[in-house]
Amino acid sequence: MEGSTQKSIAKIRNANHTDLPHLRKMVQALAEQHGDVPQITQEILEREIFGIVPWIYVIVAEADGRAVGYAALCPLINLQMGTRGIDMHHLFVEPAFRAQGIGKRLIEGAMRKARELSCSQISVGTHPDNLDAQAVYLACGFERQDSSHAKFRIAL
């Protein structure tokens, strides 16, 4: 199965409307993996990715004619410096397709998308205990940028 699965990876591409049902399931799986209770609906995903004002960019890894992994990218800006960036908010690969380089290919796809959008950097965060993810990002050329400044939030 693993050998045939790897050969079936057709491409890394932008998400499309037909990906929405399976993309929702993957977002839910990632949330549950982190102990969160997912609230996402297909309608919310459609609004955020394909709405009048898209809020995020999503690229997918396709195998066997369906999405088996995704990266969700959120725009950033450093206005005073006049530079754009992207935060890789999510990176997920279905368990049956892991350890085949798909995560790395999604990261490379995220970098291509960021360059298309004239971004000068990509940021990504991980749980402090997720050493495997940290190792992957370092191996892909990311530099550790631990933050020490105060951050604030208010619910609206």
pLDDT digits (tens, 9 = 90+) for 1-36: 344 444 456 689 999 999 999 999 999 999 998 889
Please state, rounded to an integer, the average pLDDT across all residues of the chain: 88
User: Residue 20's closest CA among 39, 43, 36?
Assistant: 43
Identity (one letter) of the amino acid at 45?
L
Distance between CA atoms of residues 17 and 78, nearest Å: 31
Distance between CA atoms of residues 151 and 91, nearest Å: 23
pLDDT digits (tens, 9 = 90+) for 112-128: 999 999 999 999 988 88
